[in-house]
Structure 1
Amino acid sequence: MADRKRSGRPARFTPVQIAETLALACQLPAETGVPLSRRSCPELAVELTARGITDSISASTVRRWLREDVLKPWQYRSWIFIRDPDFRAKARRVLDLYARTFEGVPLGPGEYVISSDEKTSVQARCRCHPTLAPGQARAMRVNHEYGRGGALAYLAAYDVHRAEIHGRCEPTTGVVPFMALVEQVMTQEPYASAKRVFWIVDNGSSHRGKRAIDRLAGRFPNAVMVHTPVDASWLNQVEIFFLIVQRKVVAPNDFTDLAEVRDRLRGFEDRYNATAQPFQWRFTTSDLDDLPDRLDRHTPADRQEESSATPTA
C-alpha cells in the first residue's frame, strides 16, 4: 500500500528572501561605501543578517542559491564605451563593406575587402621543464618558470570575403612594417590588378589619420583605407583571426626561440587558408541603429550628462 503524500519540512526561507539575496549579490559594494569589488558568500550571509533580511543564514545556503540561479554575479565582461562622435558613420562604412557595399553601391567582382591589424609582443617563452601532454584525469602541465627568447609583432591582412590570411612577422610594429605587409599583399593577384582594394584598419599609430590614407593611396592607387571608429577594434574582423591564433598557436606559450614562433605562425597560415570559410558576421547596420539606445538603457544618468557635455571637436 503506497504512503500518503506528505507536506515535508516547511521552507525556512521565503521566495522574497531569496530574491533579496540575489539582488544584494548583484549590487556593487562600492556604491554603498564598502571597499570591495564583490562580496563573497560568507560576507553576503553576514550582510543579509545585518540588514534584517534573514535571522541567520549559512554561506553554503547562499552559495547554493547563486549556483542554481541564472544570474552569476561573480562573472564579468569588459567593454569599451563609445566615445567617437562619428561612430555611427564610420561603423556603417565598415559594416557596409562586410555586406559588399560602399557608399550605397554594391561592390563588383574586381573589388576586395581586407581587414588588417597587428598582434604585438608575441613572445618566445622557453619553459625550464618540458611541457607534459594531458593524460587520464590530468590536464596539460606547463612549467611556470621560463627563459625569455624575445618577442615579435605579427601583422595580418584578412580577405573578408575570400577567407584568406596574409601574414608576416616583424621585430616591432610601425609604419614601415605595416607598409611591408601592404606591399606583400598588393603586389600579388588578385589585388595587384583589382579595381579597388579596401583596407579596414583601426586607429593605431601604424595607420592613423589622413596621412596614412594618403600614404597608402600614393603607393597603390587602387587601395582605399577605411578606419574603424575610435576604440572600436571589435568591428575589425581580423581580430577574430587573432583570437584563433592566440588560442590555437600561441597558448600555452612554449617556444625555444623566435624562429620557432615564426615557423609555427607561417605553418598555421597555410593550414588555415586550406579550409577556412568567411566569418558569419552578424552585427549589421540594423544592430548599429539600435546600439545607442541599448547603451543608454545601461548608462547611469550622470554618465550620460557627462558624455553629452564632452566636446565633439
Structure 2
Amino acid sequence: MPRTGRPKAELTLTDDERQILTRWARRAKSSQALALRSRIVLSCSEGKTNKDAAAALGVTSPTVAKWRSRFIEHRLDGLVDEPRPGRPATITANQVEDVVVSTLEHTPKNATHWSRAKMAERSGLSKSTIGRIWKAFDLKPHRADGFKLSNDPMFVEKVYDIVGLYLNPPESAVVLSVDEKSQVQALSRSQPAFPMMPGMLERRTHDYARHGTTSLFAALNVADGTVIASTHRKHRAIEFRKFLTKIDKEVPDHLDIHVICDNYGTHKHPTVKTWLDKQPRFHIHFTPTYSSWINQVERLFAEVTRDLLQRSDHRSVQALEKDLREWVKAWNEDPQPYVWTKTADEILESLSRLMQRTTGAGH
C-alpha cells in the first residue's frame, strides 16, 4: 500500500474568513508576504495536500505546512506575525491590515510619505508597533528609489540582442560597452581639507570654484575589463567619431567590433553614420531608451566617480584630464570585468513584475 503520510488537519473556512483572505490575496497593493499566506490557506481549504498546494503556488511543502498549522491554531491572526511567549497579542489582524494598506495606498495630510509618528497617530498604535509591522512586511516609506520604464517599441528585441552579446559573444570579435561621461567638472575647494584623524572624519568645505569641464569617452571590453578611453573638451558627433577612430586603431585588425551604446544624438549623427558605413567590421547595437542600466560601461563610470571624482580637487581642466588618464591606466593594469549573469528572459520577467506593481500597468 502506498504511503499517504501523516493525516493533515482539516482546514475549513467561515464565509467571513474566506472573504477576508480573498481580499488579502487579490488586493493589488497588499504586502506580498500576506498575499502569499492568504493564497496558501485558500488553497488548503480546497482540500489540496501540502505538496499539491506548494507546487501550485511555487513554494516549499514546509512553508505550506507552517501556514496551514498557524491558521488552524490562530485563524486570521496567525498569518500576521510569529506568536511570542508572554501576554496574548493585543494587535488584531485587521489593525495590521489597516496599517499595511494605509502605508501602501494613502499618504498623510500635508506630507508626501508616512513616518512612524504619523502612522502611530493615525492608527492609535505605538510607534514601536508601527516599526515592527513595517519591518515584518518589508515596508520602508521613508525611502524611495528611481526608475523609468522604457517606451522603446523595440525594447524586447534590443534586450535580447545586448544580453546575447554579454552571455554569448560572437567569435573573432570584441564587444565594447561605450559611452561618454560628459560635463566632468574641474573643481577646487575654497580651503584645504582637514585630514581624517582617529575619531574624526575628513572635513571638506561645501563651496568650491569651477575651472571648466571635460568629457571622458570610454569603451569597456566586456570580456576582459580593459578600457579604451580619451578625454575631449566638447561632446559632439565629431568627438565621438574621433573616439571610434581610436577604437579602430587599438583593436587588432582581424577582429570585428561590436559597440553597445545609448541613443544619444551624437551616436546617430550623419557624420558618424557616414564613417561607420566605411567601416564594415563595426557593428552598432543601441540600448533601449531609458535603459542605461543595461550598458556595462555605466558601472565603470560609477567606479571612477567614487574613486576619483567624488573628492577630487583640480585647479585646471588639464589636471583633471591627467588624473582621468592615470586612473584608466591604473585600471588597465589590473582590469576587472563585470560578470553579467541574468538572461534576457529573467530581465523581462523582472520588469513584468515591476509593471504589475506600478499603478495602471497592465490595464
TM-score, normalization by structure 2? 0.69
Q: Which runs of 5+ in 1 are unaligned?
A: 1-6, 49-55, 102-106, 306-313
2:122 paired with 1:47: yes
- Identity across matched positions, percent: 24
Alpha-carbon distance, 1:57 to partner: 4.0
In the TM superposition, residue 207 of structure 1 has moved relative to its aligned partner by 0.3
Paired residues for 1:127-276 under 5 Å = 127-190=189-252, 193-208=253-268, 211=270, 214-276=273-335
Question: SS of 2:178's equivalent?
Answer: strand
Give the whole-Å Cα distance in 2 for the aligned partners of 1:8 and 1:285: 50
Cross-structure match for 2:113: 38
Q: Which amino acid aligns with 2:145?
A: R
1:222/1:8 CA distance change after superposition, 3 Å? closer
Provide the rounded CA distance (Å) in 1 between the counterparts of 2:306 and 2:222: 20
What is aligned with 1:95? Answer: 163
Aligned-pair CA distance for 1:263: 1.7
| Higher RCO, Cα 8 Å, sep 6+ | 1
Structure whose CA Rg is larger: 2
The 2-side partners of 1:71 and 1:299 are apart by 16
Residue of structure 2 equivalent to 1:309: none
- Which residue number in structure 2 is paired with residue 70 of structure 1? 138
Q: For residues 73 and 39 of structure 1, what CA distance do their matches in structure 2 show? A: 6
Deviations 1:3-41 (A, max 9, x none): xxxx856655446534533443333418xxx45320222
| Structure 2: 5+ residue stretches without partners | 1-84
Match of 1:83 among 148, 151, 155: 151
- Work out whether 1:282 is the aligned partner of 2:344: no
Q: 2:102 is matched with which residue?
A: 24
CA contact (8 A) 1:201 1:226 kept: yes
SS of the residue 1:279 aligns to: coil
Shift of 1:161: 0.9
Code of the aligned partner of 2:315: T
Output one character per residue of 1:107-155: Cα deviation in whole Å (capped at 9) or x when no partner: 22x3111110011111122111112232222222121011111121111
Once the two structures are superposed, residues 195-221 of structure 1 have per-residue CA deviations (whole angstroms, 9 ceiling, x without a partner) of: 410111100011037x47633423433
Equivalent residue, structure 1, for 2:178: 116
How many residues align? The count is 279
**Is the CA contact (8 Å cut-off) linking 1:202 and 1:228 kept in structure 2?**
yes
Cα gap change, 1:187/1:281 in structure 2, threshold over 3 Å: closer, same or farther? Answer: same
| CA separation of 1:246 and 1:112: change in aligned 2, threshold 3 A | same
Higher helix fraction (1 or 2)? 2
Q: State the partner residue of 1:104.
A: none
1:169 Cα offset (Å):
1.4
Query: CA 1:270–1:133 in structure 2 vs 1: closer, same or farther (change >3 Å)?
Result: same
Using the TM superposition, give the Cα deviation of residue 84 of structure 1 relative to its aligned residue in structure 2, in angstroms: 0.7
Indicate if the aligned counterparts of 1:216 and 1:223 stay in contact, CA closer than 8 A: no
Shift of 1:277: 2.6
- Separation (CA, whole Å) in 1 of partners of 2:355 and 2:202: 44
How far apart in 2 are the matches of 1:67 and 1:256?
47
Instruction: Determine the C-alpha separation between the residues in 1 that align with 2:214 and 2:288.
Output: 27
Structure 1 counterpart of 2:183, one-letter code? S
